[in-house]
A = this chain, B = another copy of it.
Amino acid sequence: MLKDLILRNRSIRRYHQDEAINLETLKELVDLGRCSASGSNKQTLKYILSCTPEKNALIFSTLSWAGSLPDWPGPSEGERPSAYICILGDTEISKGFGTDHGIAAQSMLLGAVERDLGGCMLASVKRDDLARLLEIPERYQILLIVALGKPKEKVVIEVLEKDGDQRYWRDDDQTHHVPKRRLEDITIG
């Protein structure tokens, strides 16, 4: 059931880096994004795929991880993503991208979970650095990076009380806790 997939699809930030993901798998995931809805069917999104240690390292160097864990600089060597899908907006097709990248990223991550992988959407990216390192032509706007790998952390959802603190946190066992608002608190009419 879709609900199971959605519940399993937690944002993962530590991975078994030695478990490679091949290019074919990345293409299958992009295909899920490709077949998803696109504003006015303009299909403004373009993709850069990465699953080699060298390219992965370049991308990793431009990412910021887990804003709510300021003492944690991000996954250490050995626990980093095995692959990335960079989602770009093609400004020669449109200047605005609406929410197409969110739609596509969600399709791709659900597909990753179905393959016993996990991932995380990252919007905090040093865009100029990434554009330079990957030699991304100026016409493309970097929208979102999807990190992928074999999960090496446990993530649990818990109830966020009304007006409680929504920040995720880690316990002593390194389990990652994600407080989520209740259904009755987000439905306003």
Contacts and interface: CB of A to CB of B under 8 A. Distances in A.
Given A98-B123, A144-B99, A34 B2 contact: no
Given A47-B186, A111-B2, A188-B46, A9 B37 contact: yes
Nearest to A114: B2
A175 interface: no
Given A99-B105, A180-B34, A187 B47 contact: yes
For chain A, give the interface size range: 35 or more
Q: What is the interface of chain A mostly: helix, strand, loop, or mixed? A: mixed
A180 B136 CA distance: 23
- What is the count of identical protomers in the complex? 2
B183 A30 contact: yes
Which of A6, A48, A180 counts the most B-chain CB atoms under 10 A from its CB?
A6
A68 interface: yes
Interface in A95-113: 98-103, 105-107, 109-111
A117 interface: no
Interface of A: 1-3, 5-7, 9, 11, 27, 30-32, 34-37, 39-43, 45-49, 67-68, 86, 88, 98-103, 105-107, 109-111, 114, 121, 123, 134, 136, 140, 143-144, 157, 160, 166-168, 178-181, 183, 186-189
